[in-house]
Each structure stands twice: as structure tokens, then as C-alpha cells.
């Protein structure tokens, strides 16, 4: 649980805002109901309920965008309703709410929601002048301070969003080849297994290894080996769909996750990739480069480790059967050692 909060910033923020909102609003809701302010009390309870449901949805589904937007929209709507009923007493709560919103949704969406909320509050002032602001100067001060708060919160949230994207890219992208890293492989395989269990959507896995790569580094140098790896990944990406993924699993090992594909089609695609590597990539001396591939579908897997293990066993068999070939996993474990 704690690890999931550490790994998912948006989930942790939705959880934090939900807990703070519920703990803060509950005493007020009970007080409003006890003193006869039923509308305000009901609105407070509604925001607590939405916070609880949104946090549950985010944890249950892994989707944080929809729960975050639901919570933000209801908070803004609730603030307008309470402001209409209680007037100036609520205005101080607008400012922490403005900051909360930027943690719940994308910066531009937060800015639009806050614009709608402030516009609605200002409109209420003109509809009932005595309800919210005592003077035009107070109204102007509210508009100015909310504008300044929104702009600076937007800048901070936007810059933070860009930095998180950059850090995520650095953590999940191999700098040499541009393939996804092993770090992100586990989550993708787990998601593919869940898709199969829930929707019967079959995905396929290829474990690809360049034959005799150590000899390439020894004979031609590591720079030549790096150049071959950097040429391989673009070739692989050309042969798969946008929804599929390429991961660098080891030095010269790559994993391809192919979604919505049956075993026969996966086998044909693997053969095309093997043939393309053989005929389109070459060593510095002009000799052919070959690859061995082990494949397995999610139907054979009990978990992501087992799925990857089956493809690894198939790759091992391809190596020991002469290399430059594709082997389909049978799902049986096999003792193995690292072939040279």
C-alpha cells in the first residue's frame, strides 16, 4: 500500500485530499445539521461522500484521472452552493480549495474549473448584493487575489507536471536504444494479465536475444555493439503497432509485448522480425546479424514471472537448437545454463 502511494503521485494526492477533506468537513457537516443549516450540511456530506468514493475508485481501478476530476468538480460546485448560503464566512475556504484542485486534475483543467467557480461566486454577488461582498472594493479584492493565487498555482503545478514527466521518461526509457526499461516491464505484463482475466484479451510476449553478441563486442568493440543495439530498436518498432511495446531486458536481450494477438499470429510476427534482423542489420565486416526468439502468450501464464520464464525457456531452446530461430514456449520448466 505504501509502495503504491510512493510510486503513484496522483493517487497519493487524491488520497491525501480525500482524507483531509473528509476529516475537515465532517465536524462542520454535523454542526450544520444540528443547528438547522440542512442545505449546507447536506452539501458537506455530499463532498465527503464523493471524496470517499473517488479515493476508492482510484485505488480499485488504478484510474486516477476520472476520480480526481469528479472530486474537483464536486468541490467547486459545493463551494458555490455553500457560498450562496453562508456568504463571506466561506470565502476563506476558497483559497486552500484552489490549491487542492491543482493536485486533483491537470493544470489547465484546474484553471478552467476555478474560473467557473469564481465566476459563479461573482455572479451571486450581483444577484444578491448583500449576501457575499460588502462593497465593490471587497469584490475587486476577491477577484484579484483569486486570480493571483490561480496563476501562481497553475505555474507551479504545470512545472511540477513537466518535471514528473521528464523523471518518468528518464526512469522508463533506455538512453541508448530508446526502448522502455526493465523497470516498467513488470507493470505492463501485470496489466496484460489483468486484461486477459477480465476481458479475455490475449497478449503475446517475445524474448529476443542477439546471437553471439559478446563476440561482437570482443571483435569489433563496444561502440560497434552499441551502434547495433541502437539500430535494432527502431527496426523492431517499425514492425509492431503503436499499442505494442519494446523493452530492453538485458545487455542484448529485448522483450516485446504484443497486445491482442493469438499464438499463430505472434509466431508469424516473430519470424518476420527474425528475418528482418538477419537481412537488414549487419556487423561492421558485412556479415549477417542473427537473433533467437522465444515466444509465449498470456494464456499459458499464471503470473508475470511465469510468463516471462516460459519465454525465457523457449529462448534457451532456440539458442541450443542452433540459434537464428523462433521457438514457442510449451509452459514447461527446464534446467538451463547460459549458452556462449
Q: What is the mean pLDDT of residues 308-318?
A: 93
Distance CA 61, CA 8 (A): 13
pLDDT tens across 52-80, in order? 999 999 999 888 999 999 999 999 999 99
Extended beta strands in 211-330, E state: 245-248, 253-258, 291-297, 326-328
Can you give the pLDDT at residue 27?
A: 94
The pLDDT-based confidence of 130 (bands split at 50, 70, 90) is low
Residue 21 C-alpha cell reads as 477533506
Which pLDDT score, from 0 to 100, does residue 97 have? 93
Q: Give CA–CA dist 91/76, Å, rounded.
A: 12
> Torsion angle of alpha carbons 110, 154, 16, 171, nearest 10°?
110
Per DSSP, what are the bridge partners of residue 173? 180
The reply to whether 339 falls in a domain is no
Q: Are 179 and 246 in contact (CB under 8 A)?
A: yes
Q: Is residue 252 annotated as part of the catalytic site, yes or no?
A: yes
The residue with cell 537473433 is 291
| pLDDT for 287 beyond 50 | yes
* Cα torsion angle, 297, 298, 299, 302, sign: positive
| Residues 162 and 33 reside in one and the same domain | yes
17-35 pLDDT, tens digit per residue, is: 999 999 999 999 999 999 9
- 222 or 3, greater pLDDT: 222
**Does residue 176 register a pLDDT over 70?**
yes
Residues 226 and 134 in one domain: no
> Looking at the 3D structure of the chain, how many domains does it have?
2
Which of 152, 172, 192 is the endpoint of a domain? 172
Q: Residue 189 in contact with residue 205, Cβ under 8 Å?
A: yes
Q: In whole angstroms, what is the distance from residue 233 CA to residue 217 CA?
A: 18
d(C-alpha 265, C-alpha 267), whole Å: 5
Whether 252 is in a domain gets the answer yes
Say yes or no: 112 and 246 in one domain: no
Residue scoring higher pLDDT (240 or 5): 240
Distance CA 207, CA 260 (A): 17
In a domain, 177, yes or no: no
> Which domain range does residue 53 map to?
2-172
Instruction: Give me the mean pLDDT over the 232-250 stretch.
Output: 93
Mean pLDDT in residue range 214-241: 92
Question: 296 forms bridges with which residues in the sheet?
Answer: 205
Mean pLDDT in residue range 113-130: 86
Answer yes or no: do 312 and 196 share one domain. yes
| Residues 158 and 119 placed together within one structural domain of the fold | yes
Asked if residue 303 is part of any domain, the answer here is: yes
**Of the candidates 172, 193, 227, which is a domain's last residue?**
172
Q: Report if residue 334 sits inside a domain.
A: no
Asked if residue 88 is part of any domain, the answer here is yes
Q: Percent of the chain at pLDDT above 90? A: 64
Residue bearing the bigger pLDDT, 135 or 289: 289
Residue 340 reports pLDDT greater than 80: no
**Taking 60 as the threshold, does the pLDDT of residue 224 lie above it?**
yes
Q: Is residue 333 predicted with pLDDT exceeding 70?
A: no
Q: What is the CATH number of the domain that holds 315?
A: 3.30.70.270
Q: Residue 152, SS3?
A: helix
Q: Do 165 and 195 fall into the same domain?
A: no
Whether residue 144 is found in the same domain as residue 198: no
**For residue 153, what pLDDT is reported?**
94
Do 159 and 190 fall within a single domain? no
If you average pLDDT over every residue of the chain, what do you get?
Answer: 89
Specify the pLDDT at position 187. 86
Question: Where does a domain end: 172, 193, 226?
Answer: 172
**Whether residues 67 and 113 fall in one domain:** yes
Q: What is the pLDDT of residue 337?
A: 39
pLDDT in tens, 157-174: 999 989 988 888 888 888
Residue-level pLDDT at 310: 92
Task: Specify the pLDDT at position 338.
Answer: 43
Query: Other C-beta atoms within 10 Å of 267: how many?
Result: 19
Global pTM value: 0.67
Is 198 domain-assigned? Answer: yes
Q: Is the pLDDT of residue 334 over 60?
A: no
* CA dihedral sign of residues 178, 179, 180, 181: negative
From the list 194, 252, 260, 333, the catalytic residue is 252
Give the pLDDT of residue 129: 56
333: in domain: no
How would residue 331 be classed by pLDDT, with cut points 50, 70 and 90? Answer: low
Considering the domain architecture, whether residues 210 and 312 belong to the same structural domain is answered as: yes
Answer with the residue of higher pLDDT: 153 or 171.
Answer: 153
Whether 214 and 290 map to the same domain: the answer is yes
In this structure, are 101 and 225 located in the same domain? no
Looking from the CA of 210 toward its CB, the CA atoms found within 13 Å total 29
Amino acid at each position: 500500500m505504501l509502495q503504491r502511494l510512493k510510486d503513484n503521485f496522483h493517487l497519493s494526492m487524491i488520497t491525501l485530499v480525500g482524507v483531509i477533506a473528509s476529516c475537515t468537513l465532517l465536524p462542520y457537516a454535523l454542526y450544520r445539521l444540528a443547528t438547522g443549516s440542512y442545505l449546507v450540511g447536506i452539501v458537506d456530506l455530499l463532498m465527503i461522500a464523493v471524496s470517499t468514493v473517488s479515493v476508492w475508485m482510484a485505488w480499485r481501478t488504478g484510474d486516477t484521472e476520472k476520480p480526481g476530476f469528479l472530486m474537483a468538480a464536486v468541490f467547486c460546485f459545493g463551494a458555490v452552493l455553500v457560498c450562496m448560503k453562508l456568504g463571506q464566512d466561506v470565502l476563506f475556504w476558497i483559497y486552500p480549495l484552489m490549491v487542492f484542485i491543482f493536485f486533483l486534475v491537470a493544470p489547465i483543467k484546474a484553471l478552467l474549473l476555478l474560473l467557473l467557480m469564481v465566476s459563479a461566486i461573482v455572479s451571486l454577488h450581483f444577484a444578491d448584493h448583500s449576501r457575499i461582498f460588502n462593497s465593490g472594493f471587497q469584490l475587486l479584492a476577491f477577484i484579484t487575489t483569486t486570480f493571483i493565487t490561480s496563476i501562481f498555482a497553475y505555474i507551479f503545478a504545470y512545472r511540477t507536471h513537466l518535471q514528473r514527466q521528464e523523471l518518468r521518461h528518464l526512469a522508463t526509457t533506455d538512453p541508448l536504444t530508446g526502448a522502455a526499461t526493465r523497470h516498467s516491464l513488470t507493470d505492463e505484463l501485470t496489466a496484460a494479465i489483468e486484461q486477459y482475466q477480465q476481458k479475455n484479451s490475449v497478449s503475446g510476449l517475445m524474448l529476443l536475444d542477439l546471437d553471439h553478441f559478446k563476440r561482437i563486442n570482443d571483435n569489433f568493440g563496444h561502440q560497434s555493439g552499441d551502434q547495433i543495439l541502437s539500430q535494432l530498436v527502431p527496426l523492431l518498432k517499425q514492425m509492431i503497432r503503436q499499442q505494442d511495446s519494446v523493452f530492453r531486458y538485458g545487455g542484448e536481450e529485448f522483450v516485446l509485448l504484443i497486445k491482442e494477438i493469438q499464438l499463430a499470429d505472434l509466431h508469424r510476427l516473430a519470424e518476420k522480425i527474425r528475418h528482418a534482423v538477419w537481412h537488414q542489420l549487419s556487423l561492421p565486416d558485412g556479415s549477417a546479424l542473427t537473433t533467437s526468439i522465444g515466444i509465449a502468450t498470456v494464456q499459458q501464464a499464471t503470473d508475470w514471472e511465469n510468463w516471462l520464464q516460459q519465454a525465457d525457456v523457449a529462448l534457451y531452446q532456440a539458442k541450443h537448437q542452433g540459434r537464428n530461430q523462433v521457438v514457442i514456449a510449451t509452459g514447461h520448466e527446464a534446467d538451463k545454463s547460459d549458452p556462449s
